[in-house]
Amino acid sequence: MMSPGTYLNKRRVAAGLSIIDVAALVNTSPRLGGIDKVAWIDRIEKDIAALSPDVVAALSDVFRFSRRVLEQLITIRSYGPSAVQHAPQLCLICGCSQNDACFTGEATCGWASDDVCTACAPKSLSIKES
């Protein structure tokens, strides 16, 4: 199961945002300067900085992710996989889930395999080929 930081990293990348973009958009209290924010987001994605409910709320204003999935990942990281009843099914490439599917044209993505969504399936093939 991916870590909470990895999940946020994948959702940020899927939203097409750089860490600098997120740093420019996120509201923190106390206010951090731009460089401090970049370092802070980097620490969040490396699972070093704490993910308090305030932080989760601030990030969810900036890019799309499932707060429920994130909470489950935080629980799994702290207490192990048996601590949640149904571990979330996540795309290993973009981090999308049932609660937070990709939009591909008019439709939302489905599962191409157990851990890759249909929006990412062509990409995963090209990764394997190269």
The answer to whether 19 contacts Zn ion (rule: CB under 5 A) is no
Q: What would the DSSP string read from start to end of 102-128?
A: PEETTEEP-EEETTEETTTHHHHHHHH
Identify the residue among 2, 70, 90, 96 touching Zn ion (CB under 5 A): 96
The least CB distance from residue 28 to Zn ion, in Å, is: 29
The answer to whether residue 91 forms part of the interface with Zn ion (CB under 5 A) is yes
Strands (E), 25-110: 103-104, 107-108
Asked whether the CA dihedral 92, 94, 99, 103 is positive or negative, the reply is negative
* Contact window for Zn ion (CB under 5 A) among 30-38, 70-78, 79-87, 118-126: 118-126
- Contacting residues toward Zn ion, per CB under 5 A: 91, 93-94, 96, 102, 109, 117, 119-120
